[in-house]
Amino acid sequence: MSAAQASDAAVPAVVFDFDHTLYDGDSGSHLFAWLIRRSAWRTALALLATPVLGPMVAFLPTRRRGISGYVWIGTVGMRGPRTLDAAIDRYVAGHDAQIRERLLPMALEVLHRHREAGDRVVIATGAPPELARAILAFVAHEAVPVIGTQVGPRLGAIVAVRHCHAEEKMRMLRERGYGEIAIAYTDSSADLPLLKAARAPVVVNPKHGNVALFERTLPAGTPILNWGCAGRGGTPA
């Protein structure tokens, strides 16, 4: 590690989740739905698989496997991660207006204020990193480091090989030099390890059913806010 890198690593980070925090919805699901719909045979394959994959997605213990099935259908035939990254860039460029409507203005304002203040901002997301990076750069004009789910070739498609989720998200942040967290913004109960590691945790746009969990688990007075995400909990900010 260089002296500059060591100096950066000593500066506490401000960490943002992406889905339901900066973006209203699940960006990965929107991407992979587009990948499937772009060809008739992928669509047909998804329809045939839905009686099996649909209930798996609906049931929390099997949700990741169900989602992985749809990801496989959307990417089968792709040669490697670079092929997926190129498809992501095409998707973002072709859906500028729809994506812009889903980015939460209040969230982007908070992100921008941190960057203007010189804070060490990073996005940590369960989505493929190129997706969050492309959306923020192309649509929101914010160039921010992104740590996300790592993908690779498997069974003739591109699938997740390391999911940026829960404790694994914290490990991936530490490996990239983000060991000390000043502030963390997220909606997800899976990010409790991140929220607990932060000096100042901030819950944004949580599911209504998770509000009590956050209140019980996090320090008294932890902000639980809604940044304009319809259908989600939190105090309107």
3-class SS string, the chain:
CCHHHHHHHCCCEEEECCECCCECCCHHHHHHHHHHHCCHHHHHHHHHHHHHHHHHHHCHHHHHHHHHHHHHHHHCCCCCHHHHHHHHHHHHHHCHHHHHHHECHHHHHHHHHHHHCCCEEEEECCCCHHHHHHHHHHHCCCCCCEECCEEEEECCEEEEEECCCHHHHHHHHHHCCCCCEEEEEECCHHHHHHHHHCCEEEEECCCHHHHHHHHHHCCCCCCEEECCCCCCCCEEC
pLDDT value of residue 10: 63
pLDDT value of residue 9: 59
Report, as ranges of residue numbers, the positions in the chain whose pLDDT lies below 50.
1-4, 6-7
pLDDT value of residue 191: 96
Structure pTM? 0.91
pLDDT value of residue 3: 44
Domains defined along the chain, listed by start: 3-236 (3.40.50.1000)
pLDDT digit string (tens) for 142-151? 889 999 999 8
pLDDT value of residue 142: 85
